[in-house]
Amino acid sequence: MVNNQDSGGCCIDLSQFGAGRGGDDIDMEDEEEVPRYLNTINSSGGFLMVSTDKLSVQYTNVNLHGHDVGVVQANCPAPVRRVVYYFEIFVKNAGAKGQIAIGFTTEQFKMRRQPGWEASSYGYHGDDGLLYRGQGKGEAFGPTFTSGDTIGGGINYASQELFFTKNGKLVGTVYKDVKGPLFPTVAVHSQNEEVNVNFGQQPFVFDIEAFALEERLKQQMMIEKISLPLHVSHWIVRSYLLHYGYQDTLNSFDMASKSTLPPIPVAQENGFNEQGEMYALGHRRILRQLIRSGDVDSAFGKLRDWYPQIVQNDTSTICFLLHSQKFIELVRAGELEQAVKYARAELAKFFGIKPLATLLQDCIALLAYEEPVKSSVGYLLDATQREVVADAVNAMVLSTNPNMKDSQNCLHSYLEKLLRQLTACCLERRSLNGDQGEAFHLHRVLQSGKGEK
Amino acid sequence: MSLFWIVISQLAAVETMSTSKKVITREEWEKKLNDVKIRKEDMNRLVMNFLVTEGYVEAAEKFRMESGTEPDIDLATITDRMAVKKAVQCGNVEDAIEKVNDLNPEILDTNPQLFFHLQQQRLIELIRNGKVEEALEFAQEELAPRGEENQSFLEELERTIALLAFEDVTNCPVGELLDISQRLKTASEVNAAILTSQSHEKDPKLPSLLKLLIWAQNQLDEKAAYPRINDLSTAVLEDPAI
């Protein structure tokens, strides 16, 4: 974090402004491994045979007792960072006794026993339709199943339950008291039993998407009941417009608010405190428009006239951002010779400063490509980069406000602070919950949506 | 007596131990906050979504120019929608119905409840303006047939007609029907129906996110002590009470 102490102690941290290659946050949800096939290494081989595609299992023997079950687990445990996990089996052949089971087991499971016959395991058994969960005796649960049936097993992280389905219909649920990774498990126990497994490579018979959606909606409905202070959304939007200097929008917004029915009163009447962000609104608007249009020279000029203290220190981060943007604009315009001259004159001095190194390097790298837009540093030519500079300038101007109580306020709007808190709380809550369930992603919320509410 | 207090304090200690929450200091929490990346363009979209859904057409247009954010629906449709809403809010229900049908005739066709409420509002306005004969005719010809199809419509119709029985309508049991809030309710219903017909969500996303924040903090409170935001309008972090 670069300490830009010149003007009111407002620190510009480049990463805060999303500056840098691939501003996309890594979607953590995708990092989890998902079961794809059956694990042949730890299965009770000798009793069963797994097909070469590792998606089918057959009982090869004649079973004699309760310790020669042919059990096989998936290659990895069920992923947790989601609302539900689900997989299905298709009973190709119920064999002699139809003693097929589907369920979930832990890594330590004794692979010669039916899932559910040992502690920390769950099994829905086809021969008696009972659910076994760690005791010798099963509980009445659902129908039996046999050749031609498709049985599904799933984990509902929202309700902390396991659930099973038969031929597309929900059979029942049971509370999941086992914490920790659970492996999808399939078992066969009598001669000629044969089962196919589907980890999602084929469409499921059960509508798992609808099920997951239902769970999400349940939660959403509960949350909708929470009441908010009157007009708080309106206030937050207004503060946002004020903070970033969207003056025209703000004026339209205020005017329209007065003529709505019922009219939305001015902040003070609602008990909301205006933090003096009206400060320099006109200037900030002009500066933003200049930078958004690529006219960095004029922006520099205005800053020197209006807030010389901001650009006084020529090796400050804000000066770097402005100079680098000017350089980018020259590259965009194809004026490569001028760009080089500019770099030598204005960018060279930043080479020693560590936090700026990556961005500086990326900028200069633009020169290496015939079509910089298509290169790995092409992101610099995006409109979002101008936005980064505009936001930084905006923050610096706000920091010159003598009435500013908290210098950190100039960096983030209320909306941003609220969204960060929301994200952090959801992540922490999930992490304290065995990492189970979905976290909050603003981007995903914005994508979602027609009809899904 | 002192033994009593010893037992009490020991019980209290056991309580705190069994419900001990993870304590997250301000510093640790701020680091977690700093690790969160919120994209400016996503926030812009959220704001634009608010402006558009709530019907701030001009503001949405200006915001598009000042921020470069594209609205998620055609701004022209907002103007139409707002005109309908305004007409109902001013009591010009016939005008509103015409406009809705111009926009999309299917809306009223597929929304019998909405259509009934609009007709009911028309009746209310006739009564408000003292047009007793017209009101009766309207009720008998237009509303009664609907009432026959649906029990709750019938009840609403009877409630509305009851207005005619009172000299001093401001003090009667169904007087609230004459209140402006009734118009606003109907206007809101029409607004939502139009948005839905345009495959747009009828509510802005921002309030839901604020509610989600309140909920998430309450949930986290069960397991951890951490800096909370208690006042949404200032977004100030308040230190955990340890």
Q: Which residue of B has its CA nearest to A286?
A: B66
Tell me the pLDDT tens digit for each residue of A354-388: 888 889 999 999 999 989 999 999 999 999 999 99
User: What long-range pairs does A248-254 form, CB within 8 A, spacing at least 24?
Assistant: A248/A285, A248/B62, A248/B65, A248/B66, A249/B51, A249/B59, A249/B62, A249/B63, A249/B66, A249/B67, A250/A281, A251/B62, A252/B56, A252/B58, A252/B59, A252/B61, A252/B62, A253/B51, A253/B56, A253/B59
**Segments making up each domain of chain B, as ranges:** 73-202, 204-241
**Residues of A with CB below 8 A from B33's CB?**
420-421, 424
Tell if the CB–CB gap between A256 and B58 is shorter than 8 Å.
Answer: yes
Give the model's pLDDT for residue A3: 41
> Residues of chain A with pLDDT > 90: what percent?
62
Q: Phi/psi at A173 (nearest 5 deg)?
A: -130, 160
pLDDT confidence bin for A4, thresholds 50/70/90: very low
Confirm if A77 and A182 have CB atoms less than 8 A apart.
yes
pLDDT confidence bin for A418, thresholds 50/70/90: very high
Give the model's pLDDT for residue B169: 74
What domains appear along chain A, each with residue ranges and CATH number? Answer: 3-24+230-412 (no CATH), 35-198 (2.60.120.920)
pLDDT confidence bin for A7, thresholds 50/70/90: very low
Q: Alpha helix (H) ranges present in B55-173? A: 57-67, 75-89, 93-103, 106-109, 112-128, 132-138, 144-149, 151-161
Give the model's pLDDT for residue A23: 45
Q: From the list B66, B217, B233, which residue is nearest A249 (CB)?
A: B66
> Closest Cα partner for A351 from A382, A320, A327, A381?
A320
Q: Is the pLDDT of residue A203 over 80?
A: yes
Tell me which of A43 and A185 has the higher pLDDT.
A185
Tell me the pLDDT tens digit for each residue of B194-237: 988 887 887 899 999 999 999 999 999 999 999 999 999 889 99
**Residues of B with CB below 8 A from A272's CB?**
233
pTM of the full predicted structure?
0.82
Mean pLDDT over A66-73 rounds to 87
d(CA A326, CA B174): 68
Tell me which of B73 and A346 has the higher pLDDT.
A346
Tell me the pLDDT tens digit for each residue of B17-62: 556 789 999 999 999 999 998 999 999 999 999 999 888 999 999 9
| ipTM field | 0.85
Lowest mean pLDDT across A18-27, A181-190, A219-228: A18-27
Confirm if A267 and A238 have CB atoms less than 8 A apart.
yes
> Closest Cα partner for B111 from B35, B191, B32?
B191
**A286 reaches B (C-beta below 8 A):** no
Q: Is the pLDDT of residue A16 over 70?
A: no
Q: Is the pLDDT of residue A393 over 70?
A: yes
**Nearest-CA distance from A142 to chain B in Å?**
34
Q: Report A:422-441 residues touching B (Cβ under 8 A).
A: 422-429, 432-433, 440
Q: Is the pLDDT of residue A441 over 70?
A: yes
**Nearest-CA distance from B21 to chain A in Å?**
10
Q: From the list B210, B219, B220, which residue is nearest A418 (CB)?
A: B210
**Residues of A with CB below 8 A from B66's CB?**
246-249, 285, 288-289
Confirm if A73 and A42 have CB atoms less than 8 A apart.
yes
Evaluate the CA torsion angle A277, A280, A286, A291 in order and state its sign: negative
Give the model's pLDDT for residue A276: 57
Mean pLDDT over B91-99 rounds to 94
Q: Is the pLDDT of residue A224 over 60?
A: yes
DSSP secondary structure, A310-365, as one string: HHSSTTSHHHHHHHHHHHHHHHHTT-HHHHHHHIIIIIGGGTT-GGGHHHHHHHHH
Would you call B126 helix, strand, or coil by DSSP?
Answer: helix
**Residues of A with CB below 8 A from B208's CB?**
220, 223-224
Tell me the pLDDT tens digit for each residue of A99-135: 999 999 999 998 888 999 999 999 999 999 999 998 8
Q: Which two tokens stand for residue B79?
A: 């103007």
Mean pLDDT over A160-177 rounds to 95
Give the model's pLDDT for residue B242: 58
Residues in chain A: 453
Tell if the CB–CB gap between A432 and B201 is shorter than 8 Å.
Answer: no
Tell me the pLDDT tens digit for each residue of B137-184: 999 998 888 888 888 888 888 888 888 888 777 778 888 888 888 998
Tell me the pLDDT tens digit for each residue of B56-77: 999 999 999 999 999 988 888 8
